[in-house]
């Protein structure tokens, strides 16, 4: 017999083995697993699914990858370039995977004077804390991973407010003047950005009459909060770009002033984690923005008849917001540190308070239910 | 080709690794001279080097490759060495133009050095200044070099 016939026989026998013998073997293997594991999977099927797929690991990683790819390609098109092209067919969709693989197999340098423990721990904590906050976001009425007992909005704000401490520690731990300047800038930026965000969130909770994010979404059934709270909507939008250190306000990683800000000393996969953290915190604040102002998982109601609620509405809104924010990155240059702080304290803060007073007036006069 | 029993899996890992490194060269500009306008062209809209996955970064810790652009004096040579030593391990040096390659028009000056006296150079790009096409060609040669030499079994074939 020639070689091709032999190969075909081999493949056919392999297929027959897969069809006849392999299922039984797999079943035997599964039967061999301890019973408590099956009970655990059976009774915790939904939370496991949530942790692994939807608001959890797969969703966050996929979002980070797609957002990085889209941003690079979109920026390139806006600059009349092509962007990643040869890596993956024309669209360059494998670019992010190539970057990740390269970073993963690259040496990471720990500086001699660095505080080793903090320096190694901070890139891991950086994406984890915003990812914890994402577990509180309702993706459907019954699809909340972590039930905070009717207090999910304050718990979200507390967890997301913990996140900026990590860059400050990371900058201090690297023991480099650029990282320390960058981390102090992060502190300035977060203080000026987070207080208007919290005031806006408080106004939304007041309008809904509840601190639970599901209740806030349900209260938007007749009308999205973006309409009565148009001021808060805009303030929260600017504040979320400021909070995620996106480009008009990327003062802490200003490449022309500080080398890479608090990221300067991170190399290899540690740097990969810090870049992922930026997208995870961006994702968390954007999801909160959608939940508070754009009706969360609800479809738009046409003439008082709400359309079908689904996770897909959430993803659609997320896509639109991400496109708008990337567009803002392509269009605007970076503000200086003092300009950013002036924006935060002189404009965002009074507007947020004005929004709060408008909300109180609406509630007092009974204009909103 | 003596790779032992588990040759195929090493081959697959080598392929993936060299592919990833080849398509994500992150260079840092070490620009001291007037070849830099040509180099800026390369990241501009006409000769887009991001097509090859080349993304310039500001800090040397994140980079894989130093592009030495322009004449290197003795004082700057120390800085090139510092930068090279600060970089993580798969690291490359590209010498852009005649000045760093062979001291160019300043060949008889007491103050200049050629770059290959300081750090190991992977690709020399000739020209005074080299055209953007030449720089792109140099990057492609660097990719070819990475594909051949940068797997787990570098230099054993």
Taking only the tens of pLDDT, chain B with its 157 residues reads 444 555 666 777 788 888 888 888 899 888 888 888 888 888 888 888 888 888 888 888 888 899 998 889 999 889 899 889 888 888 899 998 888 888 888 888 899 988 888 899 989 998 888 899 999 999 999 998 888 877 765 544 4
> Which positions in chain B touch A95 (Cβ < 8 Å)?
23-24, 53
Output the pTM of the full model.
0.84
Cβ distance B88 to A107 less than 8 Å, yes or no, reads yes
Of the candidates A79, A82, A107, the beta carbon closest to that of B51 is on: A82
Residue of A nearest to B26 (CA): A99
When scoring A65, A76, A84, A256 by the number of chain B Cβ atoms within 10 A, the one with the most, hence best to mutate, is A84
Q: Tell me the pLDDT tens digit for each residue of A178-190.
A: 888 888 888 888 8
Who among A86, A107, A271 is closest to B51 (CB)?
Answer: A86
Domain edges within chain A: 49-364
Query: CA of B102 to nearest chain A CA: how many angstroms apart?
Result: 30
Say what the pLDDT of residue B156 is. Answer: 46
CA A15 to CA A11: how far, in whole Å? 6
Residue A152 CA from chain centroid, whole number: 17
Which domain CATH number covers B83?
3.40.50.12280
Q: How high is the pLDDT of residue A8?
A: 86
CB contact (8 A) between residue A94 and residue B86: no
ipTM of this complex = 0.85
Are A177 and A257 contacting, i.e. CB atoms less than 8 angstroms apart?
A: no
Q: In whole angstroms, give the CA distance from residue A362 to residue A116.
A: 53
Closest residue of A to B42, CA-based? A81
* Residue B20 within any structural domain of the chain: no
Q: In this complex, do B62 and A97 lie within 8 Å of one another by their Cβ atoms?
A: no
Instruction: Pick the residue from chain B with its C-alpha nearest to A275.
Output: B62
Q: Which residues of A touch B16 (CB under 8 A)?
A: 101
B50–A94 C-beta distance less than 8 A: no
| Residue B73 to residue B33: CA distance in whole angstroms | 11
- B7, part of any domain: no
**B13 inside 8 A of chain A by CB:** no
pLDDT at A83 (0 to 100) = 84
- Is residue B137 included in any domain, yes or no? yes
Query: Stretch A79-101: mean pLDDT, rounded?
Result: 86
B17 — contact with chain A (CB < 8 Å)? Answer: yes
Instruction: Please provide residue B92's backbone torsions phi and psi, each rounded to the nearest 5 degrees.
Output: -135, 155
Q: Which residues pair with B96 in a beta bridge?
A: B69, B125
Question: Which chain B residues touch A72 with a CB distance below 8 Å?
Answer: 50, 55
Long-range contacts of range A159-165, CB-CB < 8 Å, 24 or more positions apart? A159/A129, A159/A132, A159/A133, A160/A129, A160/A130, A160/A133, A160/A243, A160/A281, A160/A284, A160/A285, A160/A288, A161/A194, A162/A129, A163/A126, A163/A129, A163/A130, A163/A133, A163/A281, A164/A190, A164/A194
How far is residue A244's CA from residue A281's CA, in Å, rounded to a whole number? Answer: 6
pLDDT at A319 over 60: yes
Interface test with A, best of B18, B23, B63, B86 (most A CBs within 10 A): B23
Residue A304 is predicted with a pLDDT of 59
pLDDT in tens, A24-68: 888 888 877 777 888 888 888 888 888 888 888 888 989 999 999
| Domain-located, residue B68 | yes
Within a domain: B17: no
| Residue pairs between chains A and B whose CB atoms are closer than 8 Å | 93
| Yes or no, beta carbons of A109 and B62 under 8 Å apart | no
Name the residue with higher pLDDT: A304 or B47.
B47
Of A79, A87, A263, the CB nearest to B53: A87
The DSSP line for A74-108 is: HHHHHTT---S-TTTTSS-TTHHHHHHHHHHTS--
Question: Cβ atoms within 10 A of the Cβ of B43, count?
Answer: 19
Contact (CB<8Å) A271/B64: no
Chain A residues lying within 8 Å of B44, measured CB to CB: 79, 81
Domain that holds residue B87: 27-148
Beta bridge partner(s), residue A77: none
Residues in chain B with CB shorter than 8 Å from the CB of A81 are 44-45, 48, 50
* Average pLDDT of the residues in A324-337: 88
pLDDT of residue A303: 62
**With contacts defined as CB-CB under 8 Å, which chain B residues touch A76?**
48, 50
Note whether B75 contacts A: Cβ–Cβ < 8 A: no
Sign of torsion over alpha carbons A139, A145, A149, A151: negative
Buried b (16+ CB within 10 A) or exposed e, A137-166: bbbbeebbbbebeeebbebbbebbbebbbb
Q: What is the pLDDT of residue B6?
A: 54
Alpha-carbon gap, residue B138 to B151, rounded angstroms? 20
């Amino acid at each position: 017999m020639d070689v091709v016939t032999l190969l075909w026989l081999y493949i056919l026998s392999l297929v027959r083995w897969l069809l006849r013998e392999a299922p039984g073997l797999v079943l035997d293997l599964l039967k061999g697993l301890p019973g408590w594991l099956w009970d655990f999977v059976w009774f915790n099927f939904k939370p496991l699914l949530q942790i692994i797929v939807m608001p959890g690991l797969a969703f966050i990683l996929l979002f980070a990858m797609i957002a990085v790819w889209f941003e690079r390609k979109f920026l390139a098109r806006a600059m009349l370039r092509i962007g990643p092209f040869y890596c993956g067919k024309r669209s360059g969709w494998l670019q992010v995977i190539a970057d990740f693989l390269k970073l993963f197999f690259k040496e990471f340098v720990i500086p001699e004077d660095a505080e080793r423990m903090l320096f190694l721990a901070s890139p891991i904590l950086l994406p984890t804390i915003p990812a914890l906050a994402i577990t509180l976001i309702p993706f459907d009425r019954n699809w909340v991973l972590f039930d905070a007992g009717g207090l999910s909005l304050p718990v979200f704000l507390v967890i997301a407010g913990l996140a900026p401490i990590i860059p400050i520690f990371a900058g201090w731990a690297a023991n480099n003047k650029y990282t320390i300047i960058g981390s102090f800038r992060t502190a300035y930026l977060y203080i000026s950005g987070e207080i208007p965000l919290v005031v806006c969130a408080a106004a939304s909770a007041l309008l809904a009459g509840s601190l639970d994010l599901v209740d806030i979404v349900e209260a938007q059934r007749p009308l999205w909060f973006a309409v009565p709270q148009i001021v808060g909507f805009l303030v929260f939008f600017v504040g979320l770009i400021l909070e995620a250190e996106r480009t008009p306000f990327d003062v802490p990683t200003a490449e022309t002033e500080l080398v890479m800000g608090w990221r300067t000393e991170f190399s290899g996969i540690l740097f990969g984690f810090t870049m992922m953290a930026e997208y995870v915190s961006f994702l968390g604040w954007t999801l909160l923005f959608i939940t508070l102002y754009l009706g969360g998982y609800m479809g738009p109601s046409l003439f008082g008849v709400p359309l079908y609620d689904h996770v897909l509405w959430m993803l659609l809104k997320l896509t639109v917001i991400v496109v708008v924010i990337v567009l803002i990155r392509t269009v605007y240059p970076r503000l200086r540190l003092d300009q950013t702080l002036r924006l935060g304290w002189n404009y965002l803060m009074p507007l947020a308070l004005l929004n709060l007073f408008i909300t109180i007036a609406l509630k007092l006069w009974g204009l909103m239910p | 080709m003596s790779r032992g029993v588990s040759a195929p899996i090493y081959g697959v890992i080598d392929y993936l690794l060299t592919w990833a490194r080849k398509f994500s060269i992150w260079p840092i500009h070490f620009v001291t001279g007037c070849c830099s306008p040509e180099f800026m062209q390369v990241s501009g809209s006409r000769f887009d080097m991001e097509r090859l996955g080349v993304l310039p970064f500001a800090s040397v810790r994140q980079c894989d490759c130093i592009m030495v652009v322009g004449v290197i004096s003795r004082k700057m040579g120390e800085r090139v060495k510092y930068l090279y030593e600060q970089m993580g391990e798969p690291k490359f040096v590209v010498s852009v133009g005649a000045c760093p390659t062979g001291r160019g028009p300043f060949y008889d000056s007491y103050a200049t050095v050629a770059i290959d006296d300081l750090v190991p150079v992977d690709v020399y790009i000739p020209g005074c200044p080299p055209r953007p096409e030449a720089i792109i060609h140099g990057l492609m040669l660097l990719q070819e070099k990475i594909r051949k030499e940068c797997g787990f079994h570098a230099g054993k074939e």
